[in-house]
Amino acid sequence: MAVPTRAAMVALLHQASAPLTAQEMAARLGVHHTAVRQHAQVLIEAGMVMAGSLPPSGRGRPRTGYRLVDEPDPYHRLSLMLASAVRDGCTALEAGRRHGAMVVPTGDAVETLRAEAERLGFKPSVEAGDADRTVLVLGGCPFADIAASDPATICALHRGLAEGVAGVVGGVDVERLEVADPHQGGCRVVLRRKRTT
């Protein structure tokens, strides 16, 4: 339930013209406001949402309003993912999966991955593979210098991100990541469609 609730919160905040309180989101989502606050904290730590004080409505403390972070610099997103890996003692692959699981779907898994890769600055394109595969080509690496010095970490993080998105949206599995020279671009995320039985 956690990931769909977070995705629904991000979608609500995306549609909102002003910050929303935990109570407002809870009422719209049909969940308790404490759960909204807990999910909001995860989204804040992921760098997707920010909290701020709103003027009080009547007496009492100021209310906390939540809004989406303006599109962050790709290095900011990268640093948040790496910091979570260090903090939680997990691998770069697992940190990427966790962050990928928080991406709000923009369509099917291929479109959601393409949109997220674009947001991160990869200049992605989609190529048809064989009957069961689609390839997401990353035209440029926004982290080329870091990826060149530590491809095992940076590329694992991005494969994990793709796996996290695919796991939440469904319909495809990440079969492999074909790594290219990060300064030239052209890494390929090979996606295999899941067979329906």
Domain 74-193 has CATH 3.30.1380.20: yes
* Gap between the Cα atoms of 5 and 33, Å rounded: 12
* Gap between the Cα atoms of 136 and 147, Å rounded: 18
- pLDDT (average), residues 187-193: 94
What does DSSP say about strands 172-178 and 187-193: parallel, antiparallel, or unpaired?
A: antiparallel
At 1 the pLDDT is 36
CA-closest candidate to residue 190, choices 112, 149, 132, 116: 132
Whether the pLDDT of residue 197 is over 70: the answer is no
Whether the pLDDT of residue 74 is over 80: the answer is no
The overall average pLDDT reported for the chain is 87
Distance between first and last Cα of the chain? 25
Residues 172, 174, 175, 181, CA torsion sign? positive
Burial (0-12, 13-18, 19+ Cβ within 10 Å), 9: buried
At 72 the pLDDT is 62
Q: How many residues does the chain have?
A: 197
Q: Are 79 and 86 in contact, with CB atoms under 8 Å apart?
A: no
Question: What does the domain layout of the chain look like in residue ranges?
Answer: 2-68, 74-193
Give residue 27's pLDDT band: very low, low, confident or very high (50, 70, 90). very high
Whether the pLDDT of residue 49 is over 90: the answer is no
Residues 143, 168, 106, 110, CA torsion sign? positive
pTM here is 0.68
- The residue ranking higher by pLDDT, 156 or 17, is 156
Helix (H, G, I), strand (E, B), or coil: what is residue 128? strand
Place of tokens 């210098």: 145
At 54 the pLDDT is 87
Helix (H, G, I), strand (E, B), or coil: what is residue 88? helix
Q: What is the pLDDT of residues 158-187, one digit of tens each?
A: 999 999 999 988 889 999 999 999 999 899
Q: Are 102 and 48 in contact, with CB atoms under 8 Å apart?
A: yes
At 4 the pLDDT is 76
**Architecture of domain 2-68 in this structure:** Orthogonal Bundle (1.10)
Of 18-32, 38-52, 85-99, give the lowest mean pLDDT range.
38-52
